[in-house]
Amino acid sequence: MKIASVVFNSSLPQLDKVFDYLIPDSLANRIVIGVQVAVPFGTSKNLKTGIVIAIANISAHTGILSEIAEVVSALPVLTMEQYALCKEVAIRQLGQVGELLGTAVPKRSIRAEANFLKSLKNDPPKTSAATAPKKIGAIRTFFSPGLLDEDSQSHWTTYIIEKAKHQLQNNRGVLVVLPDFRELAAFEEALQLAGLESFSCRQSSEDTLQIRWTNHLRSVNDSGLIVYGTRSASFAACNDLSSIFILDDGDESHHEQGSPYWNSRDVLLQRSHLEQCSIEFIAHSPSSEVSRLCELGYLDQITTTAHKPLVRISIDTERIDTETYALIAKTLGDDKPVLIQIANLGYATALACLSCKEIRRCDTCHSSLWLDPSRTARCRGCKKTAENICSCGGSSMRPTSLGSNALAEQLTRSFPKAHIIHSSGAERITGIERKGTLVIATPGAEPSVAGGFNLVVLADSLAMLGVPRLRGLEQACQKWSNAIAKTSFDGLVVIVGITGVLAEQLRNLDFSAVVRDDMLERCELGLPPATRMLSISASNAIDHKRISEAIKTEIAELESIPTAVPNTIVYGYPIGAGNTVASKLKILVNSVSKSSKNKLPGQRVLFLNMDDHKAI
């Protein structure tokens, strides 16, 4: 009898390995690699479902083998490329293969599967292997689309679709990973326009169970598809993969919040290595990681020559100066749309001292102060109510920028006849009609309008930089550039409150230069992206002490970084040492967890994040 190796979808470290089973003759012709099977497991009366990842004549296991009880899914539900990716990511992120299998394989829908099988009989999938040409040279680029989304030639969807068409002709697969449902909608619209709907396959957790399972079966069992979705699509099946595209890799939505804390960029970089395929990063402004890869020569940067909107820098410390007011009034008067980007909601984004003009910061944690909705001066970080005296001795302060509510009130007064719309994360408007509308939006919530906005005002630029965060500048660039991309062909951009070198770089809309300078400076200081931060949180003080001491003696090269978070240790490590550090840590973490005398039943002792963005 043949032997099948089976893996389980479980986050338990004890089950994070393959289990071999005998294939009974009755099931022999139905068991292929990738199918779901039900097997007896341990002493449990219930069968456990797993996935066959290998079939062989011998087993490395010396004990007696059980037999597979039944075949659950007639079709394969996992490709071996997906499985290899899960293994690689699990090693690098110090997690379990089993917990990533859940991302690679969605929940099964019996009805959807029955319908899919029926449709297969009428329309069998194209077989690709015989005709697929061998690998073309893998391309690795960072592409920055033109800063005018209205110019369809330089739009990111056009760029991806043109390249994808070429691959589809060879019956090869293309994977597209997008940050958000808004980009998903934009991409779907473009697919429809290009007549590629029948060659595309969406992977979205927003879809119903049935649709998800149908699309998943299709991407595993068919080829020559454009597979697209948000971050979990990084693990989606895509046969004969030739190119990977990832949009706005710096966007926070590309980070998985749960263990093992992977992000689309890193997963897809690993995937492009494993599958020897091209990878292209697309963003109006690069992330610092992409900027670093360009600097190293790992990625080629493609700059578009498409024309850019005109930029006016207003150095006025007021949020909106008189000239900008006049521009808004004129644009609205011409019945054309205006977009104002503000940092966030609330009544003030920052407070400045009237005598020294500095932004007031919290005495304990140094975060900026703001006026909360009850109009009390409060720290943004620790929420402590602030003193009324500045370090310079000045006793009065004023808001440097007003939040959306206050600004809206102010604008309503200034433009009594204007039609004002708000759009924020909570109440998001996706599109508006083209006329003299004034849109006040928070970053990422800007609606689109046919033809673009004739005036885009980045009203809170200074406040967006005022936050003392590591990635403040690169994230601001991402948010600014995405808002600027909504400008019309003949439109104007006003950036309020920026001065110096940054103002010059922004006048030319040279976001790559801004991010590059910031990135190089951070690398010199031993900060991300060249150095990475890993954090280990313990559920109690004793185990916290045990793991930190074990690391101090066993992995001396790890550089400890102070943190205020209780029972947590943070270390910096060079990005290239990731796998080495992870494998050394795995041994220590396992032994400390195992011998813990303090764990509650079912509770994990240690939580490990190999790439903790919030650690610093």
Partner DNA sequence: AGCACGCCGACT
Partner DNA sequence: GTCGGCGTGCTC
Cis upstream peptide for 260 (omega within 30°): yes
Alpha carbons 581 and 573: distance in angstroms, whole number: 8
Of 580 and 598, the one with the shorter C-beta distance to DNA is: 598
Contact string 437-456 vs DNA (x = CB under 7 A): --------------------
Of 165 and 599, the one with the shorter C-beta distance to DNA is: 599
Kind and range of the H or E run holding 572: strand 568-574
**Segment interacting with DNA (CB under 7 A) among 19-27, 86-94, 266-274, 308-316:** 19-27
Residue the block writes with tokens 């980070």: 255
To DNA, the closest distance from the beta carbon of 44 in angstroms equals: 4
Contact 107, 208 (CB under 8 A): no
To DNA, the closest distance from the beta carbon of 545 in angstroms equals: 19
CA-based max dimension of the chain: 87
Q: Supply angle C-alpha 305, 309, 310, rounded to 5.
A: 120
Cα 354 to Cα 123, 373, 400, 407, 538: the distances in Å are 74, 22, 10, 21, 45
Interface residue with DNA, options 23, 41, 167, 457 (CB under 7 A): 41
Q: Is 15 in the site for DNA (CB under 7 A)?
A: yes
Q: Is 43 in the site for DNA (CB under 7 A)?
A: yes
Q: Which three-class secondary structure state does DSSP give residue 182?
A: helix
To DNA, the closest distance from the beta carbon of 235 in angstroms equals: 23
Q: Is 513 in the site for DNA (CB under 7 A)?
A: no
Q: Which of residues 159-198 bind DNA (CB under 7 A)?
A: none
E strands in 64-129: 70-71
Of 3 and 527, the one with the shorter C-beta distance to DNA is: 3
Alpha carbons 10 and 156: distance in angstroms, whole number: 38
Of 16 and 372, the one with the shorter C-beta distance to DNA is: 16
**Segment interacting with DNA (CB under 7 A) among 10-18, 99-107, 288-296, 516-524:** 10-18
Interface residue with DNA, options 7, 19, 183, 462 (CB under 7 A): 19
Q: Is 23 in the site for DNA (CB under 7 A)?
A: no
User: Would you tell me how many other CB atoms lie within 10 Å of the CB of residue 550?
Assistant: 16
Of 38 and 306, the one with the shorter C-beta distance to DNA is: 38
Please give the structure tokens belonging to residue 299: 């990625």
Selection from 413, 408, 401 nearest residue 424 by Cα: 408
To DNA, the closest distance from the beta carbon of 84 in angstroms equals: 20
Contact 387, 380 (CB under 8 A): no
Q: Which of residues 52-81 bind DNA (CB under 7 A)?
A: 59, 61, 63-66
Alpha carbons 318 and 440: distance in angstroms, whole number: 17
To DNA, the closest distance from the beta carbon of 601 in angstroms equals: 7
Q: Which of residues 578-607 bind DNA (CB under 7 A)?
A: 602
To DNA, the closest distance from the beta carbon of 99 in angstroms equals: 12
User: Would you tell me how many other CB atoms lie within 10 Å of the CB of residue 155?
Assistant: 19
Q: Which three-class secondary structure state does DSSP give residue 55?
A: strand
Interface residue with DNA, options 44, 57, 122, 198 (CB under 7 A): 44
Q: Is 374 in the site for DNA (CB under 7 A)?
A: no
Interface residue with DNA, options 7, 9, 21, 342 (CB under 7 A): 21
Of 11 and 79, the one with the shorter C-beta distance to DNA is: 11
Of 41 and 480, the one with the shorter C-beta distance to DNA is: 41
Q: Which of residues 542-571 bind DNA (CB under 7 A)?
A: none
Contact 560, 570 (CB under 8 A): yes
Of 41 and 415, the one with the shorter C-beta distance to DNA is: 41
Of 42 and 416, the one with the shorter C-beta distance to DNA is: 42
Interface residue with DNA, options 25, 29, 42, 433 (CB under 7 A): 42
Of 96 and 537, the one with the shorter C-beta distance to DNA is: 96
CA atoms within 13 A on the CB side of 561: 18
To DNA, the closest distance from the beta carbon of 15 in angstroms equals: 6
Distance of CA 97 to the CA centre of its chain: 20
To DNA, the closest distance from the beta carbon of 346 in angstroms equals: 42
Cα 303 to Cα 119, 206, 230, 283: the distances in Å are 45, 34, 25, 11
Of 73 and 596, the one with the shorter C-beta distance to DNA is: 596
Write the single-letter amino acid at 458.
Answer: L
To DNA, the closest distance from the beta carbon of 107 in angstroms equals: 17
Q: Total residues contacting DNA (rule CB under 7 A)?
A: 23
Q: Is 40 in the site for DNA (CB under 7 A)?
A: yes
Interface residue with DNA, options 14, 29, 122, 553 (CB under 7 A): 14
To DNA, the closest distance from the beta carbon of 4 in angstroms equals: 9
Q: Which of residues 92-121 bind DNA (CB under 7 A)?
A: none
To DNA, the closest distance from the beta carbon of 605 in angstroms equals: 12
Kind and range of the H or E run holding 312: strand 310-314
Contact 578, 590 (CB under 8 A): no
**Segment interacting with DNA (CB under 7 A) among 43-51, 205-213, 323-331, 492-500:** 43-51
- With a CB cutoff of 8 Å and minimum separation 6, the contacts of 417 are none
Of 27 and 523, the one with the shorter C-beta distance to DNA is: 27
To DNA, the closest distance from the beta carbon of 94 in angstroms equals: 18
Alpha carbons 420 and 426: distance in angstroms, whole number: 17
Contact 268, 179 (CB under 8 A): no
Alpha carbons 423 and 404: distance in angstroms, whole number: 10
Of 66 and 152, the one with the shorter C-beta distance to DNA is: 66
Contact 487, 493 (CB under 8 A): yes
To DNA, the closest distance from the beta carbon of 5 in angstroms equals: 8
Q: Is 20 in the site for DNA (CB under 7 A)?
A: yes
Q: Which three-class secondary structure state does DSSP give residue 239?
A: coil
To DNA, the closest distance from the beta carbon of 20 in angstroms equals: 4
Q: Is 305 in the site for DNA (CB under 7 A)?
A: no
Q: Is 134 in the site for DNA (CB under 7 A)?
A: no
CA 42, 48, 52, 54: dihedral to nearest 10 degrees?
Answer: -10
Cα 531 to Cα 495, 519, 521, 562, 578: the distances in Å are 32, 11, 12, 15, 10
Q: First CA to last CA across the chain, in angstroms?
A: 55
Binding site for DNA (CB under 7 A): 12, 14-15, 18-22, 39-46, 59, 61, 63-66, 602
